[in-house]
Amino acid sequence: MKQTAVVTAGTAGIGLETALGLAAAGLAVTVVGRSAERGARAVERINATAPAHPARFLAADLASLDAVRALADRIASEGPLTVLVNNVGAMFAERQDSVDGIEASFAVNHLSPYLLTELLIPTLRAGAPSRIVNVTSGSIGVAKRTFDSVEPPGGYYGFHWYGRAKLANLAYALDLSGRLDGTGISVFAADPGGAATDMTNGTMRDPRIVSPGLRLLWPLVQRKFERSTSGPASVAAKPSIFAATDATLAGRTGLVIGPQAHPVAPFRAATDPRIAAAVRRLSERLAGSVNRSA
């Protein structure tokens, strides 16, 4: 059976490098993104490496829950899925809503991959042994750890809210790994560390994205950040590629793969069952009913 992979936000940066790695490993890769032009360039670049299977592009605005549902329906209609890499991520300097009226950082960084994953579980089960890889971030260390609602109390600061959404998604991934244990579906999180990407070269240079307390230290933080994001996206993609393909992970689940492409201890808050339960309740309320098979 042909092994297949889907990489969200796979048309540039870490996502494209991940897609290249999966294609090199012999998987038939689908990259998902908003821009048909960037999608065409990504497919051309992947296919130029003469992969075993030609790559393709599917257009979807992953800030829209309806678009996520349509994407899941399209993928599910085509048969079993071997690997799902939830690489999508976005940080916003100013607060904005998604098309569904949900705060955009939470919608893109957690709710979109949550819904896509839940809808594709039957398809991944059909492709077992299969893997889910959620891309996480070191920004979870500055996140507020309350998930009673989409938006935490206090003012909006993009870096902190991005970290909170990524914390929700990591807690979800680790919780999901327990739920799917024994189904043939392994769940991993991959931490890319720092890399020079469109997001880091843009939003992260704006001091408005951090709280006033951290803003006082921003010159020091920014210098450290710029040193840590000097590496190429190809290096930052290695944890995702490892999590998706490495044979040593066969039969394992619930691991965080660190920037050096080996398992590391998860951020403690993400393992808190109370946080996982709160994230689950909030996600179910926002995304609506999902027909689960596991």
Tell whether the torsion through CA atoms of 190, 192, 198 and 199 is positive or negative.
positive
Give the C-alpha separation, 132 to 203, whole Å: 28
How buried is residue 80: exposed, middle or buried, by Cβ count under 10 Å (0-12/13-18/19+)? middle
Give the C-alpha separation, 15 to 196, whole Å: 13
pLDDT in tens, the chain (294 residues): 799 999 999 999 999 999 999 999 999 999 999 999 999 999 999 999 999 999 999 999 999 999 999 999 999 999 999 999 999 999 998 999 999 999 999 999 999 999 999 999 999 999 999 999 999 998 898 888 999 999 988 888 888 899 999 999 999 999 999 999 999 999 999 999 865 445 544 555 565 666 655 555 555 555 555 444 446 889 999 999 999 999 999 999 999 999 999 999 999 999 999 999 999 999 999 998 565 444
| Helical packing angle, 65-76 and 112-126, nearest 10° | 10
Q: In this structure, how many other beta carbons lie within 10 angstroms of the beta carbon of residue 236?
A: 25
Residues with catalytic function: 156
Provide the 3-class DSSP secondary structure of residue 189: strand
How buried is residue 290: exposed, middle or buried, by Cβ count under 10 Å (0-12/13-18/19+)? middle
